[in-house]
Structure 1
Amino acid sequence: MADVLPLKSLRDSADLRHLRQIITGLDEGVILVDPDQSILWANDAALGMHGVESVGALGATVDEYRQRFQLRYRNNHRLEDNDYPIERVVSGERFSQVVVEVAVAGEDAPRWVHQVRSLVLTDDQDEPECLVMIIQDVSAQFEAEDRFEQSFNANPAPAVICRLCDLRFVKVNQGFIDMTGHDRQAVLSRTVYDIDVLARAEKRDLAKERLCEGRTIPQMEAELDLPAGGTKLVIVAGQPIDMGDQPCMLFTFADLEPRRKAEGELRQSEERFTRTFSLAPVALAIGTLDGHRLCDVNEAFADLTGYAPAEIVGRPLDEAELWETPALRHAIEAEIEAGVAIRDREVRIRVKDGEVIDCIVSTEPISLGGEACVLWAMRDISTRKASERELVHAIEAVMKDTSWLSRSIMEKLARIRAPQLEPQGVGLDELTPREREVLALICRGLDDKSIARTLDVSGNTVRNHVARIYSKIGVNRRNAAAAWARARGFDGDSIPVPHHDGQFSRETAA
Structure 2
Amino acid sequence: MSQVVPDQAALRRQVDRRQLQMIIAGLGEGILLIDPVEGIVWANESALALHNVSHLSELGGSVAKYRERFELKYRNNHVLGEGQYPVDRALAGEEFQDVIVELGRTCSGNDEDRRRVLKFRGFALTDVKGNAESYVLVVENVTEHISAEERFERTFAANPAPAIICRLYDLRYVRANPGFLLMTGYSRDDIIGRSTYEFDVLENAEKKEAAIASLREGRTIPQMESTVRLPDGKSKAVIIAGQPIQIGEEKCMLFTFIDMEPRRQAEDALRQSEERFARSFRLAPIPMMLSTREKLRLLDVNDAFGAVLGYEPDEVIGRTGSELPIWVESGARKRIEQEIGKSGSFRKLEIPLRTKHDEVLDCLVSAETVTIQGEECVLTVIQDITERKRSEEELIAAIEAVMQDTSWFSRTVIEKLAHLRRPNRPDKPEAGLSDLTPRELEVLGLMCRGLSNAEIVKKLGVTHNTVRNHIARIYAKIDVHDRAGAVVWARERGFTGSPTGPSERPRQR
TM-score (norm 2): 0.69
SS of the aligned residue for 2:352 comes to strand
SS of the aligned residue for 2:326 comes to coil
How far 1:315 moved relative to its partner? Answer: 0.5
Structure 2: gaps (5+ residues): 1-6, 426-486, 499-504
Describe the shift of the 1:341–1:95 C-alpha distance in structure 2 as closer, same or farther (beyond 3 A).
Answer: closer
Alignment root-mean-square deviation, CA: 4.3
Match of 2:122 in 1: 117
Question: Match of 2:361, as an amino acid?
Answer: I
* Deviations, residues 168-198 of structure 1 (Å, cap 9, x unaligned): 2211222222232211211224333544434
Paired residues of 1:32 and 1:42 also in contact (CA < 8 A): yes
Partners in 2 of 1:351 and 1:371 — Cα distance? 29
2:144 corresponds, among 132, 140, 143, to: 140
SS of the aligned residue for 1:338 comes to helix
Describe the shift of the 1:36–1:373 C-alpha distance in structure 2 as closer, same or farther (beyond 3 A).
Answer: same
The 10-residue stretch of structure 1 (42-51 or 66-75) with the greater mean CA deviation from structure 2: 66-75
Partners in 1 of 2:343 and 2:326 — Cα distance? 21
* Deviations, residues 38-88 of structure 1 (Å, cap 9, x unaligned): 322111111112222112222223333233333344444444533433233
Paired residues of 2:11 and 2:127 also in contact (CA < 8 A): no
Describe the shift of the 1:309–1:118 C-alpha distance in structure 2 as closer, same or farther (beyond 3 A).
Answer: same
Paired residues of 1:285 and 1:301 also in contact (CA < 8 A): yes
SS of the aligned residue for 2:146 comes to helix
Paired residues of 2:59 and 2:69 also in contact (CA < 8 A): yes
Partners in 1 of 2:491 and 2:228 — Cα distance? 72
Question: Match of 1:81, as an amino acid?
Answer: E
Question: Match of 2:356, as an amino acid?
Answer: K
- Are 2:32 and 1:28 equivalent residues in the alignment? no
- Are 2:274 and 1:273 equivalent residues in the alignment? no
Paired residues of 2:121 and 2:139 also in contact (CA < 8 A): yes
* Deviations, residues 10-56 of structure 1 (Å, cap 9, x unaligned): 999799xxx9xx96992122222234243221111111122221122
SS of the aligned residue for 1:210 comes to helix
- Are 2:168 and 1:167 equivalent residues in the alignment? no
Partners in 1 of 2:207 and 2:144 — Cα distance? 39
How far 1:199 moved relative to its partner? Answer: 5.5
Question: Match of 1:117, as an amino acid?
Answer: G
Question: Match of 1:84, as an amino acid?
Answer: Y
2:383 corresponds, among 375, 379, 386, to: 379
Partners in 2 of 1:321 and 1:61 — Cα distance? 106
SS of the aligned residue for 1:132 comes to strand
Match of 1:98 in 2: 99
How far 1:295 moved relative to its partner? Answer: 1.1
Paired residues of 1:241 and 1:249 also in contact (CA < 8 A): yes
Match of 1:361 in 2: 365
Partners in 2 of 1:76 and 1:422 — Cα distance? 83
Identity %: 42
Describe the shift of the 1:112–1:9 C-alpha distance in structure 2 as closer, same or farther (beyond 3 A).
Answer: farther
Question: Match of 2:230, as an amino acid?
Answer: L
- Are 2:246 and 1:242 equivalent residues in the alignment? yes
Match of 2:297 in 1: 293
Paired residues of 1:99 and 1:116 also in contact (CA < 8 A): no
- Are 2:319 and 1:315 equivalent residues in the alignment? yes
Match of 1:487 in 2: 491
Match of 1:212 in 2: 216
Describe the shift of the 1:484–1:175 C-alpha distance in structure 2 as closer, same or farther (beyond 3 A).
Answer: farther
The 10-residue stretch of structure 1 (71-80 or 319-328) with the greater mean CA deviation from structure 2: 71-80
- Are 2:178 and 1:178 equivalent residues in the alignment? no
Aligned ranges 1:338-353 → 2 under 5 Å:
338-339=342-343, 341-353=345-357
How far 1:282 moved relative to its partner? Answer: 0.7
How far 1:330 moved relative to its partner? Answer: 2.7
SS of the aligned residue for 2:83 comes to helix
Aligned ranges 1:36-55 → 2 under 5 Å:
36-55=37-56
Partners in 1 of 2:494 and 2:159 — Cα distance? 73
Paired residues of 1:24 and 1:43 also in contact (CA < 8 A): no
Question: Match of 2:183, as an amino acid?
Answer: M
Partners in 1 of 2:268 and 2:147 — Cα distance? 46
How far 1:141 moved relative to its partner? Answer: 1.8
Partners in 2 of 1:422 and 1:281 — Cα distance? 23
Partners in 2 of 1:104 and 1:399 — Cα distance? 110
Partners in 2 of 1:176 and 1:486 — Cα distance? 75
Paired residues of 1:98 and 1:117 also in contact (CA < 8 A): no
Partners in 1 of 2:151 and 2:79 — Cα distance? 23
How far 1:313 moved relative to its partner? Answer: 0.8
Question: Match of 2:384, as an amino acid?
Answer: D
Match of 2:268 in 1: 264
Describe the shift of the 1:346–1:192 C-alpha distance in structure 2 as closer, same or farther (beyond 3 A).
Answer: same
Paired residues of 1:181 and 1:228 also in contact (CA < 8 A): no
Partners in 1 of 2:345 and 2:206 — Cα distance? 45
SS of the aligned residue for 1:96 comes to strand
The 10-residue stretch of structure 1 (334-343 or 136-145) with the greater mean CA deviation from structure 2: 334-343
The 10-residue stretch of structure 1 (79-88 or 277-286) with the greater mean CA deviation from structure 2: 79-88
- Are 2:67 and 1:63 equivalent residues in the alignment? no
Describe the shift of the 1:195–1:310 C-alpha distance in structure 2 as closer, same or farther (beyond 3 A).
Answer: farther
Structure 1: gaps (5+ residues): 1-6, 425-482, 495-505
Partners in 2 of 1:25 and 1:73 — Cα distance? 23
Describe the shift of the 1:353–1:145 C-alpha distance in structure 2 as closer, same or farther (beyond 3 A).
Answer: same
SS of the aligned residue for 1:343 comes to strand
Describe the shift of the 1:82–1:261 C-alpha distance in structure 2 as closer, same or farther (beyond 3 A).
Answer: same
Match of 1:480 in 2: none
Partners in 2 of 1:73 and 1:347 — Cα distance? 84
Paired residues of 1:116 and 1:135 also in contact (CA < 8 A): yes
Partners in 1 of 2:257 and 2:308 — Cα distance? 54
The 10-residue stretch of structure 1 (216-225 or 271-280) with the greater mean CA deviation from structure 2: 216-225
Match of 1:444 in 2: none
Describe the shift of the 1:145–1:364 C-alpha distance in structure 2 as closer, same or farther (beyond 3 A).
Answer: closer
Paired residues of 2:90 and 2:137 also in contact (CA < 8 A): yes
TM-score (norm 1): 0.69
1:192 corresponds, among 196, 214, 218, to: 196
Describe the shift of the 1:347–1:66 C-alpha distance in structure 2 as closer, same or farther (beyond 3 A).
Answer: closer
Match of 1:251 in 2: 255
